[in-house]
Amino acid sequence: MRAKEYLRTNQRAICYFDEINRIIYDLYEMRRDKEMTKIYYERILQSDIRFSEYEDEQEEWTKLGREYGWDGLVEPEYQTIDGEIDKYDASYIREELLKVVQDDKSFGYLFHLLSNNQDNFPNQQVIEAAIREEELNEKLYLAKKRILELEQMLKQEKEFREVSINPNLTDCRVTERSSKHSDYKIAAKRKTDFIKVVYAMNECRIFVMNDGTYVSNKQKLIKALAIFFNENIPDYSSLLSNSKNSDNFSDVFDELKKKAQAYNAEAYHENE
């Protein structure tokens, strides 16, 4: 099973999922490069080992200082690296990461480092073949997905734009049938605020797919919710981008915070 597929399928069962997901995507473009994979592994995934080496150096420094004096001795210093995993979780993350990539031949160099198996050195040709196969499968998957999306869009467009002949009109004018999805709509001039809130809620993982996985396609989520509110939002990114350039981008979140504080205060007084 490919690493990405493993992540999608076992998201809720994977410990340290966020860290492992980040690592897989960081290393995704390095899979062909043995040296870059090794550098990333040593800098980002071995914080616990580097800290252990620092402790050994610190112990040796203390021993030498007490025995021969401190003059000329430079105290060892532990340097943290931006992006490194927590040193106390590092061994557990590596163990979990090994499960994710063990059946993905495109991560051969990473698997070799994680498993520390000197007898099973990765083959560059095998890695290249696995990556080419994955790229082809991804293209086929995206093509099929796009076809399904287009079919769904055409279906929704047909339902939304379905017309009928009104027999009460003598000139047989074509009238568009109402395609109302609910009794609710987004208030005037609040469509951008609606997008901001939904976007933020999704970032907090309030929404999930039917199989429990994280919603990665924000465009489809916002469009689906917009349909329920009888709105058409073909492209939320332009609205969101324009609002980021304004001075009142966070106004809706400030408003929500005030409402939450007021609600909390009211609930507190009711319980007194």
pLDDT digit string (tens) for 21-71? 999 999 999 999 999 999 999 999 999 999 999 999 999 999 999 998 888
pLDDT, tens only, 108-142: 999 999 998 766 778 889 999 999 998 888 888 88
Does residue 111 share a domain with residue 27? yes
With 0.75 as the threshold, say if the pTM is over it.
Answer: no
Q: Which structural domain, as residue segments, surrounds residue 231? A: 191-271
Residue 145 resides in a domain: no
Helix axes 17-27, 34-44, angle to 10 degrees: 150
Element (H, E) at 76: none
Q: Which is nearest to 40 in space by CA: 20, 18, 23, 15?
A: 23
Point out the domain boundary residue: 101, 122, 143. Answer: 122
Residue 178 resides in a domain: no
Residue 185 resides in a domain: no
Residue 167 resides in a domain: no
pLDDT band at 166 (very low <50, low <70, confident <90, very high): very low
Give the integer Cα–Cα distance in Å for 2 and 134: 8
In the prediction, which pLDDT does 95 show? 94
In the prediction, which pLDDT does 163 show? 42
Does residue 20 share a domain with residue 102? yes
Does residue 102 share a domain with residue 7? yes
The count of other CB atoms within 10 Å of the CB of residue 1 is 14
Residue 101 resides in a domain: yes
pLDDT, tens only, 235-258: 667 766 666 666 677 888 888 888
Residue 63 resides in a domain: yes
Tell me the backbone φ, ψ of residue 164, rounded to 5 degrees. Answer: -145, 155
| Three-point CA angle 200, 262, 264, nearest 5° | 85
Does residue 195 share a domain with residue 118? no
Point out the domain boundary residue: 96, 122, 148. Answer: 122
Residue 163 resides in a domain: no
Handedness of CA 66, 70, 74, 80 (dihedral sign): positive
Q: What's the mean per-residue pLDDT of the chain? A: 83
Q: What is the count of structural domains for the chain?
A: 2
Contact in structure between 225 and 199 (CB atoms under 8 Å): no
Residue 98 resides in a domain: yes
Does residue 208 share a domain with residue 107? no
Q: Which is nearest to 33 in space by CA: 138, 110, 101, 94?
A: 110
Contact in structure between 195 and 233 (CB atoms under 8 Å): yes
Point out the domain boundary residue: 122, 145, 166. Answer: 122
Give the integer Cα–Cα distance in Å for 213 and 100: 16
